[in-house]
């Protein structure tokens, strides 16, 4: 079985919710939509306080080329445009909507019927995806319409569907494949049409045999779509790791893109959203969220309207266990700790994880013993100990020379460190600073 060559770790999978069907969560009382839920410029509100909106009404327009629009996931009145502490732990501007009833935009097809064919052209499909505000659902939230328009000089030959879900605990993509496989296949066909190619590979890790079997049986009649089981290893869901695992090609360091090696990678969640946008005219207003944790009473996979407060999800899962030490949005490896449970579900919320205090606590750090475990674990072939030391000494030049911008922040280094050094924290800091320096330098030119 294929996998990427260097680095990687094997955390406990802990997929507690793999056999829990997707349940639909009730509407919230008030939905909150932060204006920056994606990479790039924040969206600009196009509604005002007191406006009446329906499910699917656009409430914010893209703030630039690299941006995405935001739609209301509920019907009701705009209560205020204020700020909210979102999953990144920073106060950001947001639109608050008081929910009244559940009235949908009439243009949205709400039936469960599978729509197989559409006569939209390539440009129309991209426009449709853009208008639906679709972003990468794996967590990075990169606007999908930008990804589907690769630079002209690159020839794309392979579409890779990321169904790896290598993060422990999370099962949202797994359940989506089991319950909406037909929609996903149609979604893949739509994206293939946009890219003008006829070869797609669905990468699934071997710990999901039921999904592999199902997708294989669904794709057996479809030419050009192939299912590739992959050996279990974190961070296989990383774009560059997945490309290497599937095609054996290595993406050069930034600013090179996956398109430079002829690949476009899309998450299965994104593919499903593309299907709904193109075939059902439904913007991105819902997503699947895994609510889980070792001591959670009723861990589950929920279909949640965007903007629902996290507290409502936790309540559905049986409340927050008393011994919870950390509340995380996303997976345990790359997720971010939430400050409290008032944060709203946004486009990138793949999971809500409640970690018991005993596991959450970071013990005191010790000195680096030069064991180089972090170097072995780094899937990008970097030297995390060196980058962290450079960051600690504010030596941004050294960090840049040692390819810090290639870091994908997967956290393998930190999880293997026997001295429990906060390597990723330091690397993130340096990456942020070096990124700023590079941007300033480019702006000068």
Partner 1 sequence: MSFILTAVLVLGLTGLVLGLVLYAVSRRFKVEEDPRVGQILELLPAANCGGCGFPGCAAFAEACVKQESMDGLKCSVCKSEVMHQIAAIAGHSVELGAEKVAVVRCNGSCANRPNLRVYDGAPSCAAAALMNGGATGCFYGCLGCGDCVKVCKFDAIKMDPETGLPVVDQDKCTACGACVKACPRMIIELRSKNKLDRRVYVSCVNKDKGPVAKKACDVACIGCGKCVKACPFEAITLENNLAYIDFEKCRLCRKCVDECPQHSILAVNFPPKRVAEPAPENQVEQQTEQ
Q: Which two tokens stand for residue 273?
A: 């959203």
Report, in Å, the least distance between residue 222 CB and partner 1. 44
Q: Can you state the angle between helices 423-444 and 384-392, rounded to 10 degrees? A: 70
Q: Restricting to residues 102-141, which ones interact with partner 1 according to CB under 8 A?
A: none
Name which of 66 and 85 has its Cβ closer to partner 1: 85
Q: Which is nearer to partner 1, 54 or 336 (CB)?
A: 336
Site string for partner 1, 365-384 (x = CB under 8 A): --------------------
Q: Which two tokens stand for residue 282?
A: 């439904």
Give percent helix, percent strand, percent coil of the chain, each to the nearest 5.
30, 20, 50
Among the residue ranges 88-96, 233-241, 252-260, 310-318, the one whose residues contact partner 1 (CB under 8 A)? 88-96
Q: Near partner 1 by CB under 8 A, which window of 37-45, 85-93, 236-244, 435-443?
A: 85-93
Using the minimum distance from each CB to partner 1, give the nearer residue, 199 or 433. Answer: 433
Question: Would you count residue 88 as binding partner 1 (CB under 8 A)?
Answer: yes
Least Å from the CB of residue 425 to partner 1: 4
Angle at 288 between CA 321 and CA 43, to 5 degrees: 105
Site string for partner 1, 389-408 (x = CB under 8 A): ---x----------------
Q: Which is nearer to partner 1, 271 or 343 (CB)?
A: 343
Contact between 425 and partner 1 by CB under 8 A: the answer reads yes
Q: How many other β-carbons are positioned within 10 Å of the β-carbon of residue 408?
A: 17
Beta carbon nearer to partner 1, 217 or 432: 432
Closest CA to 391 of 356, 437, 358: 437
DSSP letter at 262 equals T
Are 219 and 159 within 8 A, CB to CB?
no
Burial class (CB in 10 A: 0-12, 13-18, 19+), 226: middle
Pairing of strands 58-61, 70-71: antiparallel
What's the gap between Cα 430 and its chain centre?
23
Site track 90-109 with partner 1 (rule: CB under 8 A), x = hit: xx------------------
Of 224 and 422, which CB lies nearer to partner 1 in the complex structure?
422
Provide, rounded to whole angstroms, the least separation between the CB of residue 435 and partner 1.
11
Q: Does 428 bind partner 1 (CB under 8 A)?
A: yes
Distance CA 380, CA 4 (A): 10
- Interface segment toward partner 1; rule CB under 8 A; list 27-35, 225-233, 268-276, 425-433: 425-433
Which of 115, 398, 429, 438 is in the footprint of partner 1 by CB under 8 A?
429
Kindly compute the dihedral angle of the four CA atoms of residues 128, 134, 136, 141, in this order, to the nearest 10 degrees. Answer: 140
User: For partner 1, how many residues bind (rule: CB under 8 A)?
Assistant: 18
Binding test (CB under 8 A) with partner 1, winner from 362, 401, 418, 436: 362
Is 49 one of the binding residues for partner 1 (CB under 8 A)?
no
Which residues neighbour 286 within 8 Å (Cβ) at sequence distance 6 or greater? 73, 303, 304, 305, 306
CA contacts within 13 A on the Cβ side of 86: 23
Instruction: Determine if 224 is a binding residue for partner 1 (CB under 8 A).
Output: no
Confirm if 286 and 73 have CB atoms less than 8 A apart.
Answer: yes
| Size (the chain), residues | 445
Q: What residues line the site for partner 1 (CB under 8 A)?
A: 85, 88-91, 336-337, 339, 361-362, 392, 422, 425-426, 428-429, 432-433
């Amino acid at each position: 079985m294929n996998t990427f060559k260097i680095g990687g770790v094997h955390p406990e999978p802990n997929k507690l919710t793999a056999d829990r069907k997707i349940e639909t969560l009730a509407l919230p009382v008030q939905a909150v939509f932060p204006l920056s839920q994606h990479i790039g410029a924040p969206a600009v509100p196009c509604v005002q306080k007191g406006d009446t909106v329906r499910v699917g009404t656009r409430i914010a327009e893209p703030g630039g080329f690299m941006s995405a629009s935001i739609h209301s996931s509920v019907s009701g009145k705009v209560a205020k445009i204020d700020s909210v502490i979102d999953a990144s732990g920073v106060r950001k501007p947001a639109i608050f909507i008081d929910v009244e009833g559940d009235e949908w935009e009439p243009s949205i097809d709400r039936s469960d019927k599978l729509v197989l064919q559409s006569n939209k052209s390539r440009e129309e499909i991209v426009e449709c995806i853009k208008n639906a505000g679709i972003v990468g659902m794996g967590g990075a939230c990169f606007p999908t319409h930008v990804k589907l328009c690769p630079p002209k000089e690159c020839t794309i030959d392979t579409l890779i569907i990321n169904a790896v879900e290598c993060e422990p605990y999370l099962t949202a993509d797994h359940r989506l494949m089991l319950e909406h496989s037909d929609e996903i296949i149609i979604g893949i066909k739509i994206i293939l049409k946009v890219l003008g190619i006829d070869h797609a590979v669905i990468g699934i890790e071997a710990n999901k045999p039921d999904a592999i079997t199902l997708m294989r049986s669904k794709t057996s009649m479809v030419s050009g779509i192939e299912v590739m089981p992959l050996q279990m290893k974190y961070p296989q869901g990383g774009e560059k790791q997945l490309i290497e695992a599937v095609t054996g090609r290595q993406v050069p360091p930034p600013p090179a893109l996956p398109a430079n090696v002829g690949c476009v990678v899309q998450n299965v969640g994104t593919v499903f959203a593309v299907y709904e946008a193109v075939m059902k005219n439904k913007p991105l207003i819902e997503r699947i969220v895994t609510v889980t944790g070792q001591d959670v009473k009723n861990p589950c996979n929920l279909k949640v309207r965007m903007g629902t407060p996290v507290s409502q999800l936790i309540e559905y899962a049986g409340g927050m266990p008393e011994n919870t030490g950390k509340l995380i949005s996303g997976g345990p490896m790359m997720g971010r700790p939430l400050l409290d449970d008032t944060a709203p579900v946004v486009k990138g919320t793949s999971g809500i994880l409640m970690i018991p205090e005993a596991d959450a606590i970071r013990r005191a750090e010790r000195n680096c013993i030069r064991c180089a475990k972090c170097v072995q674990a780094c899937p990008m072939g970097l030297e995390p100990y060196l980058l962290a030391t450079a960051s600690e000494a504010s030596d941004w030049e050294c960090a840049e020379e040692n390819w810090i911008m290639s870091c994908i922040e997967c956290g393998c280094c930190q999880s293997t460190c026997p001295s429990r050094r906060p390597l990723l924290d330091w690397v993130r800091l340096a990456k942020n600073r070096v990124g700023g320096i590079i941007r300033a330098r480019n702006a000068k030119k």
